[in-house]
């Protein structure tokens, strides 16, 4: 019995042709709208460890600015919330809710060009020893900052066509 399916094969071979015909163009491609962001965004200096992780991820995604055109300000807020309780009212799981409000501005005119707000959450278990709980919280915070930075990058990429040429 053969596992070859002609319809699946045709779909796989036709997919690149269909994408090429629809005008699809990568955002960071040679003519992509978001290409103007690469290496052009100077993220404001972080003041917290959360801000440092978020800034590092933004620079990883957008490149470190050599001759920046834009400045990016990000305000981060986080909140811890117990989400799982035992019968004797002990918290066994904590979510960290995070929100980042951002603004992209032209460095020459200081005019805000794009802005937005992103939010997400991560969680960690509190059932281990104190040291492992602290490590789990630190890791959850790091993951949250990476998620928020990626969401900011996605929002910037989606709105890049609105930037002045």
* pLDDT score at 91: 87
Strand partners, 42: 71
Block residue for tokens 């990000």: 74
Please tell me the class of the 34-162 domain: alpha beta
To the question of pTM greater than 0.75 for the whole model, the response is: yes
Per-residue pLDDT of 111-128, as tens digits, reads 999 999 999 999 999 988
Task: Please give the angle made by the CA atoms of 68, 64 and 42, to the nearest 5 degrees.
Answer: 40
Per-residue pLDDT of 81-114, as tens digits, reads 998 888 888 889 999 999 999 999 999 999 999 9
């Amino acid at each position: 019995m053969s596992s070859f399916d002609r319809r699946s094969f045709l779909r796989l071979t036709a997919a690149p042709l269909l994408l090429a015909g629809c005008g699809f163009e990568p955002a960071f491609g040679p003519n992509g709208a978001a290409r103007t962001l690469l290496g052009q965004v100077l993220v404001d200096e972080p003041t917290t460890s959360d801000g440092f992780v978020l800034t590092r991820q933004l620079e990883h995604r957008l490149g470190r600015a050599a001759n920046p055109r834009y400045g990016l300000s990000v305000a981060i807020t986080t909140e811890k919330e117990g989400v799982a309780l035992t019968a004797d009212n002990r918290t066994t799981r904590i979510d960290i809710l995070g929100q980042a409000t951002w603004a992209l501005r032209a460095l020459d005119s200081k005019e805000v060009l794009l802005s937005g707000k992103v939010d997400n959450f991560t969680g960690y278990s509190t059932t281990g020893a104190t040291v492992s709980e602290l490590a789990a919280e630190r890791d959850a915070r790091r993951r949250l900052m990476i998620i928020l930075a990626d969401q900011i990058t996605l929002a910037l990429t989606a709105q890049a066509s609105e930037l002045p040429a």
